[in-house]
Structure 1
């Protein structure tokens, strides 16, 4: 009996844009609307934490404020035993994610508080100094205005004449308070980012992607290469029906196929390299062919000088020589006497020397 296919999963895979990878994990991302927790990649991909420690950290981070996270409380809700949970908590404590602080209550009782930080590296960054209020930096003379001198007494009015209402005199220029000086700009300390705990192997989704590599082109384009590349692409659907290309796709991919043909690639080998193991479903065959033409480009064939260097070195043959004494042939790079004649002459020289010594 065949394995039952999950139609919902198949439909979700069909809705993923772009070609699916031939190997590795495939993500189906469905946005959360409730009951979710944001976990940083620095924790989920930490190279120094075990999977148990990462799972315990995610569980603690998902719990609400005030829930007990002791070893026994976690063991009551997890399949891991108390020893593994204790070891995981020690790992988190060593890297700063978890801290256990002792605090004394007003009643005198000492308790242990468990503090979990979802991003411990942010605690190492220096904070900016708070700017002083403007009124605290004003000069002292601006805070206490100068008192105006008492005005001169008005002359006594006659009893029979009513006293006119006193008109307010404008203040003297010297009695005006000096405007407060503008506060100096606050001095900020430039924070220095601490070194990261680890370098992520996978870049974040918001990281800028490098530009795609251009399609390869032949070094010396010729009409013969263009005709052969066009025929290859037009005939590709007979061997792989899912690679049915339009006229514009063929025109765009001709330079890449011509570069392969220029490098002595055989059509059958090119067909297998470009069409084997395609993703399912294949939505954009032209994009897949462009990617494979660029990434799987074979190296250029070696030249005549490169092949000469790989050739086996010649064996040096020693020529024949004729002995000057016995006319016998022997191999030697230079003419002279053979080995027997040289030994005979050496023996005769020794005997002559012995006779002279005896006489």
Structure 2
């Protein structure tokens, strides 16, 4: 099959008209007649989108209206995991290609409505040209009314022949009629300049794919790695492939992960609990089993069990007044400060009375 494809491409390459480039890609264009989707270069060559986001955008654009484009539906179609597909959808939201809103149906059910636009920049440009925004605090200038039309004067008719009459006495000339001037028409205010198209709003900040990632947290280590503890931890890590065939680790991976399992055993975690935490709900397909086990050993590390003195109820302390020695009779009495006892304090008062 590979030989036939290579031969077909070689024959088609020989039929390409014109000189061929010395390097780079050479296109063999066969026009589509059915089952094709038009994709713009603004998406196919977008400088800010990852290849996963571009591929998912093309996939969504090729689906009919009403198709399921959720994270789980796309993860079942693509080999990428759910986290990577979710990040790609957030990229498309940030650049205006995708919008997801939660809508309540008449029956009370809440669904996610997904809207995809193949040219978000053209959509924003069309809306801006159709309805230019008005700056805050100002109103659009009123449209000046056209001046009233002046009816044309009627053409004078030729006078009919009449008999000669006596000349009339000339009257005093009256004031000439002055036409009423029209009110001045206000000049139209200049239209406010439309602000540049703002970039599409994003619900959250998506770092570029080339942003440096923080280093992973270190693998937990036991306080004292005894030979017995190390042997038990190594056996538990090696035995994981019996319960999950995807966790077939190498000797180097087992040697690296054994101290993390020993830290769990040191905190009195039962082996069944550790095995369940490491093998439960594994992603499919699992590409890096050692990295997954390292993450779970670090993120799911249980705290140390409390001791008996930590679980005991705190004792209620009773304030005790200390003993003092009387300066007059040397008897002991309770007081917070030194001085005389009650009898010595009352005896001077009796003597004075």
TM-score when normalising by structure 2? 0.39
Structure with larger RCO (C-alpha < 8 A, sep 6+): 1
TM-score when normalising by structure 1? 0.39
